Structure 1
Amino acid sequence: METKKTRIESDLIGSREIPEEALYGVQTLRGIENFPISQFKVCQYPLFIKGLAVTKKGAAIANHQLGLLPDDISKAIIQACDELREGKHHEHFPVDMIQGGAGTTTNMNANEVIANRALEILGHKRGQYEFCSPNDHVNRSQSTNDAYPTAIHLGLYATHLKLVTHLKDLIASLDKKAQEFKSVVKMGRTQLQDAVPMTLGRTFHGFANILTHEIENLNFAAKEFLTVNMGSTAIGTGICSEPGYSEKCVKALSEITGWEIKLADDLVGATSDTSCMVGYSQAMKRVSVKINKICDDLRLLSSGPRCGLGEINLPAMQPGSSIMPGKVNPVIAEVANQVAYKVIGNDVCVTMCGQAAQMELNAMEPVMAQCCFESADLLMNGFDTLRIRCIDGITANEEHCKKQVLNSIGIITALNPIIGYKNSTKIAKEAASTGKGVYELVLEHDILDKEDLDTILKPENMIKPVKFDIKPKRHL
């Protein structure tokens, strides 16, 4: 049996054997062992790794400009960072997203991977840190307390840009249905009771519109990610960095990303402040609340097929029961509901962690980051699944919708301005008690002529403001 080759690396705690093929080092290995917490590994979040790479590249550029890194080492570090940005070597980030130490394990994971790849570029072996050190070179002028949150900010901002794109696609699908159903008249409902007529198109336009408003809110919340605390080092004092480093690093970050990144006004305050994650998590929660409302409505509108509302048909995606033949459930809307609940739950975690900052640091940043990245991924997958497997294939039961309108007591509201509230109430009460229609009773009591009644109750006249020159013939 072949024995896997290893190398020996040492740290404050002692020496350990590291798999020879691993780009990570001893501190990453300790993180793997110390935090077997979840199934959420850093390697599952490529945009976070790219945020780490951008952060380390910006630091290397600034350190080189200040004469703190020689040409060959800075070039090797920058090349290693660029490879990470291209999606390479991500499998060498096996540590759990949820970890103690305020992110030190993830920061050192990045430092070790970049250092070992830089060593290869320089012609050395992995682990020969005297030529390129994870701490002295890759982590130069940095602490976990500024590099880690900066990487989170950059990773989440990139994630936000993707999230908005997926949300816009969902909105476009809803808008398309709004146009398709613009002439389908249906009953509106409040408190699950018949209200007044409207069109199914207006329903879907409303869905699209409430989500459109959330784009601005998401953009507003995400903008805070573009403020970073690079150069604050340990607690915001800038110890172990040189004058001008912060400014040079932030300028480099802006040039690398093309984003308008700026330095926090107060580095001490910024180092312990995680409100940008709190704010963005809340913005995602707002979207989730609206997605949940939309999916609840879709399930109600499609309920039946014969004993429910039955106004729309959702695409049949799978058999709905192992015992009830012919049953088809609204499974896509249901899973989107569950996505919403999970995002809302993650926001509770982020909020609690946000208020857990102590003194000059918030040690709970790792799970905050995990929750934010996870929520964004869930929403993007949820948006696409809801759009492709549900919204795009919805059809309307137009005749059924029209019949419900004509048979509804709710249409009495359209007569209210003409015959008065008292007459309308009596007609509605009699319709409810006798089972007769509003239309039938108005004619039976000779309140309006048939021609006038037909004009008022035309579907197109009940879904928008209309002025009628019609008077009732008598009052009850």
Structure 2
Amino acid sequence: MNTRSEYDLLGNMDLPADALYGIQTQRAAQNFAITGVPISHFPELIKALAMVKASAARTNQEMHLLTDEKADAIVAACQELILGQHHDAFIVDVIQGGAGTSTNMNANEVIANLALTKLGHKLGDYQHLHPNDDVNRSQSTNDAYPTAACLGIQFAADNFVPSLASLKAALEEKGKAFAHIVKMGRTQLQDAVPMTLGQEFDAFAVTLGEDIDRISEACALLCEVNLGGTAIGTGINTPEGYATRVVEKLATISTKPMVPASNLVEATSDMGAFVFFSGILKRLAIKLSKMSNDLRLLSSGPRTGLGEINLPPMQPGSSIMPGKVNPVIPEAMNQTAYQVIASDLAVSLAAEAGQLQLNAMEPMIIYNLLNSLKMLKEACHMLETRCIRGITANEAVCAGHVENSIGIITALVPHIGYSNASRIARQALTTGSTVKALIIEEQLLTEEQVNLLLSPESMLSPSKVSL
């Protein structure tokens, strides 16, 4: 293998001759073989890092800290990364020590080497354009990395929300299709009062729609960044006015409403926006998991469970029980949700672990947020296309449950009294008779009155029926 030699604080090291990364990236790849997940697994983060570096280069150019030639070469290199090129050169594990320095240097070295080739120089020929002196000018990992994270998470959210919105739309469509099917509602797994299957699916849709709005609110908090604060927020090694100008350029390049934090020292150590965003993802995961539990219960059986809906069969369910088909898609959603919930705990612990002017655990926070968004995106698409859109209703089963339920007596309480209703319910339970038959038999109400009070118009919404 052809190699080139590079030198840093710790000495010399041989690298592949054609590697776009440099010695600090190589050291990090050797040090942090932890998850097996490289930075390239999250293209949104690479895109965001390139936007930060391009914004810094243009600001440094305007403030006469970089020549036009160097700035143009850096920006051209960044543009290629933004377009999705060369991402395989981002080889550092997402979990790393150093508060993200290895990720920042991976970006600095790749951009420097791409820029060098545009200027007609060899890879690693850093005397012409340097990863630290030029690409990282007026920056520190401590402001460039979290700023890129804030931006990258927003990009990942942009990719995720359409999947969530499409799942919501699929649930709304089922709500309309099932609007005419009366079934029993249940509380604490016991018969409650009637509702429609459509109302049940509408409720699923509404609860997911709420979190689309919450994600948007969380993204707004990520627009306030500490870029320009450099090491601890004091702005050391930047010219006066740099912070405002570089964030303005980042807002233009990213098309996100990025603004400088009001206090850069506070913003450099505070992880509050990340914690808030993680909490929203946990809230959504809990809702998705509860909905998946409901789908599994409603489809249980097929002959000895509730059996009110049919999930589309995706694969044989057992290596020993012929004919068994399991609710594998909701189960996979459950497991995705558990991972997202666990990730929120990891984010919380990492955010709490900050010390003084920096949080060295930022890589853990960023990895978990980006990974949760990626998992939720794929899981929501899976649930929609491989489950929700193929669900059918067992109308006869739903009707039978309503007819045989004792819970319908709730609709008669205003007319026969709670004591009578309790007695009739108990009698129906012990004798196997229906509530309707017992009410008529005891002449508490006429058959016509019972039919009227137990009609969908009376039971499924605030009553418009008067006797």
Q: Normalising TM by the smaller chain, what interval?
A: over 0.9
Q: Counterpart amino acid of 1:433?
A: T
1:107 aligns with 2:96: no
* Other-structure match for 1:86: 83
* Other-structure match for 1:466: 463
1:183 aligns with 2:146: no
List gaps (5 residues or longer) in structure 2: none
Select which of 253, 256, 272 maps to 1:256. 253
* Other-structure match for 1:473: none
d(CA) in 2 for partners of 1:361, 1:263: 18
Structure 1 segments of 4+ aligned residues over 6 angstroms from their partners: none
d(CA) in 2 for partners of 1:117, 1:64: 18
d(CA) in 2 for partners of 1:289, 1:468: 39
1:300 aligns with 2:297: yes
Quote the offset at 1:75 in angstroms. Answer: 0.3
Task: Give yes or no for contact 2:458–2:465 (8 Å, CA) kept in 1.
Answer: no
List gaps (5 residues or longer) in structure 1: 471-476
Q: Counterparts in 2 of 1:272-421, with a 5 A limit? A: 272-421=269-418
* Other-structure match for 1:26: 23
* Other-structure match for 1:432: 429
Select which of 128, 152, 165 maps to 1:168. 165
Task: Give yes or no for contact 2:311–2:387 (8 Å, CA) kept in 1.
Answer: yes
Q: Which is worse superposed, 67-76 or 443-452?
A: 443-452
2:290 aligned counterpart, secondary structure: helix
* Other-structure match for 2:212: 215
* Other-structure match for 2:453: 456
d(CA) in 2 for partners of 1:411, 1:264: 58
Q: Counterpart amino acid of 2:287?
A: K
Corresponding residue pairs, total: 467
Q: Counterpart amino acid of 2:133?
A: D
d(CA) in 2 for partners of 1:460, 1:282: 40
Select which of 443, 457, 460 maps to 1:446. 443
* Other-structure match for 1:35: 32
1:222-266 C-alpha deviation (Å, 9 max, x unpaired): 111111111111111111111111111011101111221100111
d(CA) in 2 for partners of 1:77, 1:358: 34
d(CA) in 2 for partners of 1:14, 1:469: 90
Quote the offset at 1:460 in angstroms. Answer: 3.3
Quote the offset at 1:459 in angstroms. Answer: 2.8
* Other-structure match for 1:474: none
d(CA) in 2 for partners of 1:434, 1:70: 92
Q: Counterpart amino acid of 1:382?
A: A
1:292 aligned counterpart, secondary structure: helix
d(CA) in 2 for partners of 1:266, 1:187: 56
User: Percent identity of the aligned residues?
Assistant: 51
Q: Counterpart amino acid of 1:141?
A: S
1:446 aligned counterpart, secondary structure: coil
Quote the offset at 1:461 in angstroms. Answer: 2.3
1:55-95 C-alpha deviation (Å, 9 max, x unpaired): 00000010000000001110000000000000000000010
Q: Counterpart amino acid of 1:149?
A: P
d(CA) in 2 for partners of 1:23, 1:115: 8
Q: Counterparts in 2 of 1:61-210, with a 5 A limit? A: 61-210=58-207
Quote the offset at 1:444 in angstroms. Answer: 1.4
2:9 aligned counterpart, secondary structure: coil
2:222 aligned counterpart, secondary structure: helix
1:72 aligned counterpart, secondary structure: helix
Quote the offset at 1:467 in angstroms. Answer: 3.6
d(CA) in 2 for partners of 1:165, 1:330: 24
Q: Counterpart amino acid of 1:83?
A: E
Task: Give yes or no for contact 2:317–2:326 (8 Å, CA) kept in 1.
Answer: yes
d(CA) in 2 for partners of 1:468, 1:61: 72
1:183 aligned counterpart, secondary structure: coil
Quote the offset at 1:293 in angstroms. Answer: 0.8
Q: Which is worse superposed, 154-163 or 369-378?
A: 154-163
1:161-183 C-alpha deviation (Å, 9 max, x unpaired): 12211111110000000000000
RMSD, aligned α-carbons: 0.7
d(CA) in 2 for partners of 1:235, 1:450: 79
* Other-structure match for 1:231: 228
Quote the offset at 1:450 in angstroms. Answer: 1.0
1:384-410 C-alpha deviation (Å, 9 max, x unpaired): 000000000000001110111011001
Q: Counterpart amino acid of 2:297?
A: L
d(CA) in 2 for partners of 1:351, 1:62: 35
Q: Counterpart amino acid of 2:285?
A: S
Q: Counterpart amino acid of 1:157?
A: Q
1:115 aligned counterpart, secondary structure: helix
d(CA) in 2 for partners of 1:253, 1:110: 16
Q: Counterpart amino acid of 2:260?
A: L
Task: Give yes or no for contact 2:457–2:464 (8 Å, CA) kept in 1.
Answer: no
d(CA) in 2 for partners of 1:433, 1:449: 23
2:379 aligned counterpart, secondary structure: helix
Q: Which is worse superposed, 308-317 or 32-41?
A: 32-41
Q: Counterpart amino acid of 2:361?
A: M
Q: Which is worse superposed, 216-225 or 125-134?
A: 216-225
Q: Counterpart amino acid of 1:212?
A: G
d(CA) in 1 for partners of 2:232, 2:90: 26
Task: Give yes or no for contact 2:458–2:464 (8 Å, CA) kept in 1.
Answer: no
Quote the offset at 1:218 in angstroms. Answer: 1.1
Q: Counterpart amino acid of 1:187?
A: M
d(CA) in 1 for partners of 2:332, 2:190: 26
d(CA) in 1 for partners of 2:231, 2:449: 79
1:114 aligned counterpart, secondary structure: helix
TM-score (norm 1): 0.97
d(CA) in 2 for partners of 1:150, 1:451: 70
TM-score (norm 2): 0.99
